[in-house]
Structures are given as C-alpha cells and as structure tokens.
Amino acid sequence: MNRTLPAAALALLVGVAPPAFAGQRCLAPMTEWKPREALVEKLRAEGWTIMRIKTDHGCYKVRAADDAGHRVKAKFDPATLERLARDDDDD
C-alpha cells in the first residue's frame, strides 16, 4: 500500500498553502501602492462604472459595472493596478 500523501494534502497538514491559492493576496508594501484615484481613472477609461473600492487582503477589491452594464467583482494589485481575480457573482 502506498502511504504517501499528495503534495496539496501534505501542504495543508504542515500549514503551508499550496501554490494554487497564492494569487488571492497582494504582497506589495503600502509605500508602493498607487492611489485609488489611479485605479478609478483606469477603470473609467475602460468604460466601468465604479460602485465601491475597498482594501481586502492587501488588494483593491472593486464592485462595478463594466462597459456592457454587467456587474463585476474583481481584485487588483495596488502596486501595478493589474486585475488578479475574477468573480462573476451578481449579488
């Protein structure tokens, strides 16, 4: 019988998150963050209507409507303003 654990299960047992979960947090120090206004300008230029921006796990978390009017929830790296995660919930 093979008693080795899959890498993800072993990582959970020793308290280390597997790489698949690493993209949900932003690690840039606050001294490198761009202002929220820069993100608002970027998204408005793409046709988004901003409803809310807050900080979540070191990222900017945005609720908005895109240029087609669809509700969008997304996370952005505050240092680069790049989109990190997509969530198509319409709540």
- Domain CATH number, residue 71: 3.10.450
How confident is the model over 51-66, as pLDDT tens digits? Answer: 999 999 999 999 999 9
45 pLDDT more than 80: yes
45 domain-assigned? yes
40 domain-assigned? yes
Q: What is the pLDDT of residue 36?
A: 96
51 domain-assigned? yes
Among 40, 32, 66, 14, which residue's Cα sits nearest to residue 86? 66
23 domain-assigned? no
Percentage, residues of the chain above pLDDT 90? 62
Which string of DSSP letters, residue by residue, matches 5-74?
A: PPHHHHHHHTT---GGGGGGS----GGGPPPHHHHHHHHHHTT-EEEEEEEETTEEEEEEE-TTS-EEEE
Answering whether pTM is above 0.85, one says no
Q: Which domain holds residue 78?
A: 34-91
Number of domains in the chain: 1
Q: What is the pLDDT of residue 86?
A: 63
24 domain-assigned? no
